[in-house]
Structure 1
Amino acid sequence: MMAASRGPLAAALLLLPVAALAALPPSWPRVHAFQAVVEAAARVLGNRPIDAVERADGERFLVRAGDCRVAVRLVVRAGAEPGPQLFDAIPDAPDCS
């Protein structure tokens, strides 16, 4: 009887980390999105320091570095496991005209 009662308890304890990940504050996904956008823009902008990041719409951001501009698009990856949303940040070619 004792071993049978541990089964549900053990299962519940295993689910605690999943529940904690699902309960992230709304600001954390946004922080990770901005970090991915800045890193992708920095790769294509080279040594130019980034001055501003602006959200153009739901999945597109505009990054400004001096006279250069670059659009970065976030593409959501399908996640097999619960937890933070995964995405790829895909930059366009910079416009430095």
Structure 2
Amino acid sequence: MNSAAHSIAPADRWGPFAEGIDPAERLARLRSLRAIAHLCLGPRGDAFVGALHQSERDPDHMPAALRALDALAPLDRRQVLASFARLHRPPA
């Protein structure tokens, strides 16, 4: 991971923000999180969706995406996180 990893708290190193994942996997996770946010939040999530889109092109923007996630209303944040977790849950 790049220099952005050092500015991401250990508790926030999940999904696309995790350390040690392949760049292609990081991109896939960012895109799936962006799609979830777009579908679940609509215009309420524009700042978060935009930050994720920037992170796809430049991983140094990932801390800004986390800040945008944290700025969401609690119910919106919970819906996005639960949807991402369900989508990426390991098969039983």
* Shorter-chain TM-score range: 0.3 to 0.5
Q: TM-score, normalised by structure 1?
A: 0.35
Q: Which has the higher contact order (CA 8 A, sep 6+)?
A: 2
TM-score if structure 2 supplies the norm length?
Answer: 0.36
Larger Rg: 1
